[in-house]
Structure 1
Amino acid sequence: MNVKNLTISALLATIAFASPGFATEKKITISVVGFTADGKQMLVDMNDSNYGRGLRLYDVETGRPAKKSRLIEYERSAKVPTFKRYKRRYKIKDPGMESMKSADKKMAFFAVEKGERLVIAVTDYQRLGKVTDVELRQDKETEKRAEGRLKTIMWTTDRKTMVLVISQKMKGQFTSEIDTLHYVQFKKDRISWVQADPDLAGAEQRKKGWWPF
């Protein structure tokens, strides 16, 4: 699967500590407002606990802010008119859809931490499969990895593009919880399916190491 990390660089600024014993928390939540008709760009809503709220247009495939786009700051009270104005300006025609299941409801997606990566997995209720994986952030000093979880999945209406909303939480003196977006061009025939051993069951399956990720 083709995966691109959609880095929200405009909001990832360095925060200074007020005193040696004071730990500052940083939390950035992001969501996809909608897509252009061709699915090549999307409007992203960001809420930074230290810098406030903002909208920005992103190129889906490159994972970078669209050319000449800028961060549009807004107050909570102005959310509705701001969204309306910039959805019209950037021609956001496809509202997309949020779902952790396939269009036919026959497959469900979830995530599993595996070492340095967060594996995005899928089940058709008979098998397990791997869609892709995402590297977890690492603290340069402690070398600890962040805790990752799949918050939700946004799709274009035609279900050809999926955007994973992943939260990564890093604990320590400086605690941060940051959402990131990851693009996947989804095709069922690219899923790496693994069939469980029919002679083993439940906990014994996992103990034997059949877990495919």
Structure 2
Amino acid sequence: MDDNNNNELKVCAQAANKLIKELQNLCIRNRYLEEAVEADEMRLSARNDRLSSLQQTFATLEHRKKSLMEDKRKNIEACILSAREHSQNKLCTPATHLLAVTDAGLSSGQQPTLPLDQHLHPLHHDATSTILDSHSGDKMREICDQLCLLRRENEELAKQARDCSGRAEMMDRSLSIGNLSAQVKASRDKQMLSEMKKQVHALQNSIKILELALNQNDAKT
């Protein structure tokens, strides 16, 4: 009878030692998993911070793009308005070389006589018109050059805005994918940690039962 009790005690002790060792191993794995979960959560937080920063950068670029487009529109409108004003000034140049014919002269049917300086005045007007035409042409060419320059600058700025927008979208997609992957991994690690905690709890209960059985056997002996 004593031999049987001793054998049972040995078996229980061996089982208890085995369970204790398994419990220790599970505790170690549990600690590693907790550290892994914390690291995943830190990486996830860092990714979220980067994503938020990129979204702010993207919003800033969009605002800058709209501002540049508005500046371009205003500059083009100003150039067009300036061109119209110069064109109207050219068309509305007063004809000072024309003589004012009096009513008396018209009623008498007399041919109006022109003084020498008034005979030469049309030639002076032609020279003035040529100068005005040249000046207006130069001004129009200057405005056209400004418009071309503004168009080139606008195209370059639009290209830069598109490039920045494309890079921001690519980084946004990349971070979103990485963010999702990190979330899945963190969820998986948490699930494994929960399962291991259940196993640890079950082992602890088994150890308590074995210890109780050992104590009962000790009491009987």
Q: TM-score, normalised by structure 2?
A: 0.17
Rg larger in structure: 2
Which gives a bigger RCO, structure 1 or 2 (Cα 8 Å, sep 6+)? Answer: 2
The structure that is helix-richer by fraction is: 2
